[in-house]
Amino acid sequence: MRPGTRIVLGVSGGIAAYKAVEVCRQLVDAGAHVSPVLTEDALRFVGALTFSALASEPARTSLWDGPDLIPHTRLGQRADLIVIAPATARVIAKYAAGISDDLLTATLLATRAPVVVCPAMHTEMWEHPSVQDNLATLRARGVHIVDPESGRLAGGDEGTGRLADPARIVAAIDAVLGPGDLDGVHVVVTAGGTREPIDPVRFIGNRSSGKQGHALADEAAGRGARVTLITTSERAASAGVDARRVETAAEMEAAVLDVAADADVVIMAAAVADFRPKASAAQKIKKAEGVPEVVLEATTDILAELGRRKRPGQVLVGFAAETDDVRAQAADKLRRKRLDLIVANDVTAPGAGFSHDTNEVVILGADGLEQNVGLRDKRGVAREVLDVVVPLLRRTGA
């Protein structure tokens, strides 16, 4: 399994819910980012706390009680895969019928990710035509079913209906995920805004939050890439991302140039300062000293430098945060900095740009590509950008 793969683990209310704890643990051990979602009935068999303690984030149990206003769409859109283990006859029926009356079934309808259903129930229920018909419907829609095993069931009965062994479930998930389209590719991503010190407590900064760069790093890792993330942000990177923290443009320059020669793809999503104070005071500047005069000097344009050093086959992606004449300004940067792609956004558009969770961009290519990406979460934008990068890599044979 690729590190950071986002898996929603749905647990419904059957006695086998206790085995889902082991599925959760094995997925986390394999490097996945696991978000547990428990139905109300599941809570009769296992505690949410058990999953919260083992998973990558606290277990969710309701559409209404969490901090998110719309948890099902966030979970569904971000997931690389959803697995339901155990899946009761009831959850299977609801999913087949499109009923979305709790967080788990709503998440199932709000996703385009592959879904793995692991039924567990008594033999009579398993063999009931309604259950089999519902499973046939799901199969026909491309849902993957991990058939239950035969053995001892609750109450001492023997027969088919026992939840598949956790290792088998994890193997089935691995098979569904398959190799990523960035397997074996080294991607370098920069994120966040640099801080240029005036003195030990003051700096010149910008509004970049690092969210878009981190989303790119997470998405690339989820698709199999080896990712080096050079970031000014404190936010956590997903497992498998080699995150290196920097603060100033000079530190970012050194860190990027150190790894760029080996990179197949470099994505400069960071907002690098164009100017920095020529000198930074060793001690805090006091008001009593009067208003300081801060003399600025230019920083290195890292992206332009990468353009000069670019080796054949390397794909270079820039970002252009603009406030006016977005396309023309971005197209100009694409040419000047010798890029393959530039991701341009109008940071004044509603819901786009700095610190928002969403973004709306246009991707311009040196080959004439012009692709509008409407408003979506930053992971979704990352997905679109990498969808454009992958064929470029194939074309250049990197």
Q: Which of 249, 344, 362, 373 touches ligand CTP by CB under 6 A?
A: 249
**SS3 labels along 26-47:** HHHHCCCEEEEEECCCHHHCCC
One residue of 33, 72, 90, 333 binding ligand CTP per CB under 6 A:
333
- Of the candidate spans 27-35, 73-81, 159-167, 318-326, the one that interacts with ligand CTP by CB under 6 A turns out to be 318-326
Is 331:339 a contact under the CB 8 Å cutoff? no
Residue 118: CB atoms within 10 Å: 26
Residue from the set 196, 219, 301, 377 that interacts with ligand CTP by CB under 6 A: 301
With respect to ligand CTP, which residue has the nearer C-beta, 117 or 306? 306
Out of 51, 95, 126, 319, the residue judged to bind ligand CTP by CB under 6 A: 319
Q: Binder to ligand CTP among 38, 169, 302, 386 (CB under 6 A)? A: 302
Q: How far is the CB of 57 from ligand CTP (least distance, A)?
A: 30
385 in Cβ contact with 341 (< 8 Å):
yes
Q: How far is CA 318 from CA 150, 264, 345, 346, 368, in A?
A: 55, 14, 11, 15, 15
**Nearest CA among 162, 307, 317, 188 for reference residue 243:** 188
Q: What are phi and psi of 80, to 5 degrees?
A: -85, -25
For ligand CTP, the closer of residues 56 and 231 by Cβ is 231
Judged by CB under 6 A, does residue 362 bind ligand CTP? no
Binding to ligand CTP by residue 274, rule CB under 6 A? yes
Cα separation, 62 vs 84, whole angstroms: 16
Q: Which stretch binds ligand CTP (CB under 6 A): 22-30, 164-172, 234-242, 301-309?
A: 301-309
Closest separation in Å from C-beta 202 to ligand CTP: 20
Per DSSP, 148 falls in state P
The minimum distance between CB 269 and ligand CTP, in angstroms, equals 7
Q: How far is residue 218's CA from residue 188's CA, in Å, rounded to a whole number?
A: 12
206 catalytic residue (yes or no): yes
Closest to ligand CTP by CB, 69 vs 295, is 295
- Largest CA-CA distance found in the chain, in angstroms, rounded: 86
- Rounded CA separation 329/355 (Å): 22
Q: Is 299 in the site for ligand CTP (CB under 6 A)?
A: yes
**Catalytically annotated residues:** 206
